[in-house]
Each structure stands twice: as structure tokens, then as C-alpha cells.
Amino acid sequence: EPEVTQTPSHQVTQMGQEVILRCVPISNHLYFYWYRQILGQKVEFLVSFYNNEISEKSEIFDDQFSVERPDGSNFTLKIRSTKLEDSAMYFCASSGGIFYNEQFFGPGTRLTVL
């Protein structure tokens, strides 16, 4: 069964450093998303991406964040200068195909900012 994959599973970084979180969505999907979940809190939407551009973004997704689909398979989230409060689990999701309104989530990347 096709699935969304994410790497790395855990990333530890120093405050102020740049991080890139990587995702490989399901191959025939057209919509891609990033969400985050701060420990013990709800899953929050960051950004959606369609047709090589951002289609929707939340207030959380400020200038420190960017997304890119550098090739036909990867979808990345970059945080330019990490803050302590960026520590969270980051989930990638994709949708499309026959289950058009269902989002398939990856296992997540746990980001720890020290």
C-alpha cells in the first residue's frame, strides 16, 4: 500500500540553525501539506501546496518557513532560523487520486530545538 514517508524521524538542532524536513508524498497525489503538533497540543495546519505553489497557509507559516517541491517526488519544509518554540512533531500529508478528500499522513519528524 502506498504511503507518505518522512525523513529524518528525529532532528536535533541548535537555536538559529536552518533545518530542512523532507517528505515523499504518495506518487499520484496532487496536494501536499505540512502540519505540526507541539507536544500535548492539537495538530495545527501550516501550509498546503498545489501545482507548484502555496495554495493556503496559516498564521504560523511566517517568513521563517518555506516549502519546495524540488523534484517530482520530494516535498520539503525549511525553517530558516529555528526558535525554541519550533520544537514539535511535523507531519507531512498528501491527497489526491481516488480518495480525493482524504489526507494521508506520514509518520512525522520530531524536531527538537536546543
Partner 1 sequence: GDSVTQMEGPVTLSEEAFLTINCTYTATGYPSLFWYVQYPGEGLQLLLKATKADDKGSNKGFEATYRKETTSFHLEKGSVQVSDSAVYFCALSLDTGNQFYFGTGTSLTVIP
When asked if residue 45 is in the footprint of partner 1 (CB under 8 A), the reply is yes
When asked if residue 94 is in the footprint of partner 1 (CB under 8 A), the reply is no
Selected binder of partner 1 within 7, 11, 22, 50 (CB under 8 A): 50
Contacts of 104 (CB under 8 A, 6+ apart): 2, 3, 4, 25, 26, 29, 93, 94, 95
In 3D, which of 84, 104, 112 has the Cα closest to residue 5?
104
Selected binder of partner 1 within 28, 55, 73, 81 (CB under 8 A): 55
Residue with cell 516535498: 75
Least Cβ distance, residue 51 to partner 1 (angstroms):
10
Contacts with partner 1 by CB under 8 A lie at: 30-31, 33, 35, 41-45, 48, 50, 55-56, 58, 91, 93, 95, 100-108
